[in-house]
């Protein structure tokens, strides 16, 4: 048991009605962000076997895991700053497609240029479904159809990566061999270490988890980091504290994206999961 509990948000709305119009703003916010990760720099043969040449790569990040069987390139539209609408050539959730992940979709195609017409909005225009969402994090008890949601939170090419997801996990999703609680985190694009070390495991000391006790946020440094050898944007932080971790932060200039842009200071609240 945790010795401290996260404060409940009185503004949070929970509903079991997922039919018709969206029942709360939280459903609209399911599409968290998109990241203009690569501009004509991703070999198309990496995923789009029918294409040749270099494509743009755009990771699109969701709050809930997606049903891969409902995923198609026609589910998405990318709008650039001149109002042009672009449809991806192909899409994939790989490599972030393990159990408990499936929240990042990589779009490949031509989505504009960094200077003249950068992408500024991503829309879901097809029937793209979530899976049965994990206990403690869903606004609905049923599967959600994301058709119609949109985000203008498109991170420009020149900006570095940031955290978009943090979730406390246990059970068969937990890969930590030590500690008393595990927090899964995800970045909005691929990352590599920027200072020191060869893998994210060398950077665990730059993460800080915070527990909320007696009105104060108490910092805790993870004792290790796991789920790091699969080349995706998800990994797990292992904590030895019995205080419930409610927030995760990472100092600036610690990791970098594929364009070698370092992160700014990044922090995110932690959601719950009991699967």
The verdict on 63 and 164 lying in the same domain is no
Look at 14-18, 133-137, 255-259 and tell me which has the smallest mean pLDDT. 14-18
Nearest Cα residue to 138 out of 105, 162, 174, 167? 167
Q: Are residues 243 and 163 in the same domain?
A: yes
Model pLDDT for residues 170-222, shown as the tens digit of each residue: 888 899 998 999 999 999 988 887 766 555 556 677 889 999 887 889 999 99
71 and 176 co-located in one domain? no
Burial of 257 by CB count in 10 Å (0-12 exposed, 13-18 middle, 19+ buried)? buried
Q: Judge if the upstream peptide bond of residue 247 is cis by omega within 30 degrees of 0.
A: no
Q: Among 141, 157, 173, identify where a domain stops.
A: 157
Contact 48, 92 (CB under 8 A): no
Q: Are 212 and 7 contacting, i.e. CB atoms less than 8 angstroms apart?
A: yes
Quick: pLDDT tens for 8-43: 433 333 333 344 444 445 577 789 999 998 999 888
Does 113 fall in a domain? yes
Mean pLDDT of 246-253: 93
Q: Looking at the structure, tell me whether residues 57 and 147 fall in a common domain.
A: yes
Tell me the CATH number at 133.
2.60.40
Q: Which domain holds residue 112?
A: 23-157
Q: What confidence tier does 6 reach under pLDDT thresholds 50, 70, 90?
A: very low
Q: Could you tell me if 121 and 173 lie in one domain?
A: no
Q: What is the DSSP string of 103-137?
A: -EEEEEE----SSSS-EEEEEE-S--BB-SPPTTS
**Which one is predicted more confidently, 13 or 96?**
96
Q: pLDDT-based confidence at 4, cuts 50/70/90? A: low
Q: What are the pLDDT digits (tens) for 34-75?
A: 999 899 988 877 678 767 788 999 999 999 899 999 999 999
Q: Please, where are the H alpha helices in the chain? A: 25-28
- Residue 8 covered by a domain: no
- CA angle 68-109-48, nearest 5°? 60
pLDDT at 138 exceeding the cut of 50: no
Same domain, 222 and 264: yes
CA dist., res. 80 & res. 90, Å (int): 18
Quick check: is 1 in a domain? no
Residue 15 lies in a domain: no
The residue out of 133, 157, 181 marking a domain boundary is 157
Q: Is the pLDDT of residue 88 over 50?
A: yes
> How many Cα neighbours within 13 Å face the side chain of 133?
23
Q: Which residues contact 102 (CB under 8 A, 6 or more apart)?
A: 65, 66, 68, 93, 96, 131
The verdict on residue 16 lying in a domain is no
Are residues 166 and 151 both part of a single domain? no
β-strands 154-155, 31-35: how paired?
parallel
- pLDDT of 52 reads 72
* 196 occurs within a structural domain: yes
> 75 and 59, same structural domain?
yes
pTM of the model: 0.84
Same-domain status, 27 and 153: yes
Q: Quick one: pLDDT at residue 199?
A: 57
CA 33-35-202 angle, to 5 degrees, is: 100
Give me the CATH number covering residue 238: 2.60.40.1220
Asked whether the predicted pLDDT for residue 135 surpasses 60, the reply is no
Question: In this structure, is residue 79 part of a structural domain?
Answer: yes
Both 137 and 204 in one domain: the answer is no
* Pair 138, 47 in one domain: yes
Residue 28: its pLDDT value, please? 73
Q: Are residues 225 and 212 in the same domain?
A: yes
Number of domains, the chain: 2
Mean pLDDT, rounded, of the chain: 83
The verdict on residue 7 lying in a domain is no
Domain boundary pick from 157, 179, 194: 157
């Amino acid at each position: 048991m945790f010795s401290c509990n996260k404060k409940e948000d009185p503004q949070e709305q929970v509903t079991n009605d997922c039919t018709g119009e969206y029942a709360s703003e939280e459903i609209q916010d399911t599409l968290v962000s998109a990241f203009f990760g690569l501009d004509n720099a991703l070999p198309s043969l990496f995923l789009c076997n029918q294409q040749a040449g270099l494509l743009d790569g755009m990771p699109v990040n969701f709050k809930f895991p997606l049903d891969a069987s409902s995923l198609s390139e026609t589910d998405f539209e990318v709008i650039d700053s001149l109002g042009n609408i672009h449809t991806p050539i192909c899409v994939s959730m790989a490599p972030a497609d393990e159990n408990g992940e499936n929240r990042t979709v990589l779009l490949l195609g031509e989505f504009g240029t960094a200077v003249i017409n950068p992408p500024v909005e991503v829309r879901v225009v097809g029937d793209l479904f979530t899976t049965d969402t994990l206990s403690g994090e869903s606004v609905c008890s049923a599967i959600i159809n994301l058709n119609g949601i949109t985000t203008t939170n498109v991170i420009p090419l020149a900006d570095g990566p940031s955290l978009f997801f943090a979730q406390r996990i246990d059970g068969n999703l937990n890969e930590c061999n030590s500690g008393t609680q595990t927090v899964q985190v995800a970045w909005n694009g691929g990352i590599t270490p920027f200072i020191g070390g060869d893998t994210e495991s060398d950077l665990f000391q730059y993460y800080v988890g915070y527990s909320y006790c007696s009105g104060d946020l108490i910092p805790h440094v993870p004792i290790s980091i796991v789920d790091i050898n699969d080349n995706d944007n998800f990994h797990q932080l292992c904590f030895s504290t019995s205080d419930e971790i409610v927030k995760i932060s990472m100092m600036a200039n610690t990791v970098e994206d594929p364009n070698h842009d370092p992160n700014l200071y990044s922090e995110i609240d932690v959601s719950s999961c009991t699967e």
